[in-house]
Amino acid sequence: MMKLYDTQRSGNAWKVRLLARLLNKPLQRVTLSIDRGNLGDAEFLKRSPLGMVPVLELEDGRTIGESIAILQFLAHGTPWWPITALDQAYVLMWLSFEQSQHMHPLAQLRLHLSLRRDREAGDEDMVRFKVEAEHALRLLDEQLARQGSSGWVATQTHPSIADVALYPYTRLASMGGIDLETFQNVLPWLARIERLPGYQPLFPGRADLNFATVEMADKTK
């Protein structure tokens, strides 16, 4: 079975678990602890030279890092990765947007204002991240409006890995002080993803823990 190196609260790793469940592909989780410094362990760094999760380890031991590369690998040959070059380009466009504009400010706000609580919302960089995050959510909201209420972020008839990639940090945005109510097309899109067969919350079986701020005891991994 393929192994996924993750941490409990990583939104980037949640993308991978979410897609694996939506595709009904089994993954064995190897859950590391950022709080205990596991990401610096030599054994992990052999698999992830950049010291980051998620990392997917194939049955032959080869590894893939970067969430969107893992999503593409898992989705290949399924409806979550479309067939035509144009449709693939649209998916890549929104995956690139997620990495370059969306994930980073949202993840930083959640990390510093909710998980670590080591910064104030009024700090200069937090204010800048909030402006960037709201701009990214505005662009996502406008795209969802263009796609219509039955469309998906980059595709029309079937959701793609662009939806999966954009879901976790959008879902967790309130932890960084963002009010999603102001993005009219975003909340119904999140709800549609949550109704897909196989949808899995951040803590499997515990949708109430999506907004947890501390690592849970090992049994709830």
Instruction: Give the interface with ligand GSH as residue ranges (CB under 6 A).
Output: 10-12, 34, 39, 52-54, 66-68, 99
Contact 10, 53 (CB under 8 A): yes
Exposure of 82 in the CB half-sphere (CA atoms within 13 A): 20
**Within 13 Å and on the Cβ side, how many CA atoms surround 107?**
16
Q: What are phi and psi of 56, to 5 degrees?
A: -105, 130
Minimum CB separation from ligand GSH for residue 33, in Å? 11
The least distance separating ligand GSH from the CB of residue 48, rounded to whole angstroms, comes to 8
- Taking phi over 0 as left and psi of -120 to 50 as alpha, with beta for the rest, 183 belongs to beta
Determine which helix (DSSP H) or strand (DSSP E) holds 28, and give its type and residue range: strand 27-32
- Which is closer to ligand GSH, CB of 58 or CB of 188? 58
Cα–Cα distance, 169 to 105 (Å, whole number): 9
Tell the smallest beta-carbon distance from residue 58 to ligand GSH (Å).
17
CB of 107 to ligand GSH, least distance (A): 6
Judged by beta carbon, residue 101 or residue 147, the one nearer ligand GSH is 101
Distance in angstroms (rounded) separating the CA atoms of residues 115 and 210: 12
Of residues 102 and 130, the one with the C-beta less far from ligand GSH: 102
Closest CB to ligand GSH among 104 and 156?
104
Smallest gap from residue 84 Cβ to ligand GSH (A): 25
Nearer to ligand GSH, 116 or 148 (CB): 116
